[in-house]
Amino acid sequence: MNILAIDTAANILSVALSVSRADSNPEQRWYFEADAGLRHSEILMDMADILMKQGGLQPADLDLVACMKGPGSFTGLRIGFSVAKALALALGIPFIPIPTLDCMAASYSTWPGIVVPVINAKKQRFFTALYRGDTKIADDRDADAAAIAALLSKALASSVDGEKSILITGPDAPLLKDELVKLIPVGIHIDPACRKGRAMELLELAKKDIGMDTGENNFFTGPEYLRKSDAELNI
C-alpha cells in the first residue's frame, strides 16, 4: 500500500510517504519536514511532490491519504484536511484523519510514567491529553496549566513508584514544563525531540486504522479544534 501522510497541526510541517512494491523491499519510506512557521500552504504541495518523485510514484499510484485530525493550529488543520480530501477525491482513494495528540504520543509507549503531548493553544492554555503505555488515560482537552497539573496529580496518585515520572512532548513542551514545575513535585522531563514533525507516526497509525476504517465516511468530517476560533467567538 502506498500512503501519503500530511502533518500540518503545528509549526513543524512534515510529510511522509510509504511505498510498497512487489519487486523491491517490502516497504520504502521517504520523509521531509520544515520548521518554517505557519507557511504550510506555500510549501506543502512542493514537499509532497518531491517525496512522490523520490518514491518513483505518480499520484495515481497512491492508495491512501492521511492527515492530522486535530487539535492543533486552526489554519494548519484546515490546510491539511483540504489537501488530503482533494487528493483522495481526485484519485478515488480513502482518506483517514488521525488524532494529533495520539501521533505525538505514539513513539513513547515504553516510557515508564505518563506521557503528555502538548500544543500551545494560546491565551495561557494548552491542547493536551495523557497517556500511559499504549493507553490513553485522559482524553483530548483545552486546559490551562493548573487544570493539567490537577489531572496529572490524580493520575500519579494511582501510579506505582517506578511510574511517577512525566514526559512532555510536542512543539510547546518547554512552555508547559515551566508552568508544571511550580505545581507538581515529581520528575518532569522534556522529550529532546519534542520539536519535530509527526508525519511518520501519522503514517504508522493510519496503516493500523485502515483495517478498521475504510475512510469512506471521512469526507464528511472536519478537523477537531476543541474550541471555537477567535473569528467565531467575535461574531
Average confidence (pLDDT) per 10 residues, the chain, 235 residues: 95 95 79 88 94 95 96 94 95 94 96 96 96 96 97 88 86 95 91 96 91 65 80 49
Cell for 110?
A: 515504553
Asked whether the beta carbons of 57 and 4 are under 8 A apart, the reply is: no
The predicted-structure confidence for 163-183, as pLDDT tens digits, reads as follows 789 999 999 999 999 999 999
First-to-last C-alpha distance (Å) of the chain: 45
- Specify the 3-state DSSP secondary structure of 86: helix
Q: Cα–Cα distance between 146 and 77 in angstroms, integer?
A: 27
Cell for 137?
A: 488515560
Q: Cα–Cα distance between 6 and 230 in angstroms, integer?
A: 25
- Return the pLDDT at 51: 97
- Return the pLDDT at 211: 63
Alpha helices (runs of H) in the chain, residue ranges in sequence order: 40-54, 74-91, 100-105, 145-157, 173-180, 199-209, 230-233
Residue count of the chain: 235
This prediction has a pTM of 0.92
Q: Cα–Cα distance between 227 and 72 in angstroms, integer?
A: 10
- Return the pLDDT at 233: 47
Residue with cell 489537501: 83
- Return the pLDDT at 27: 87
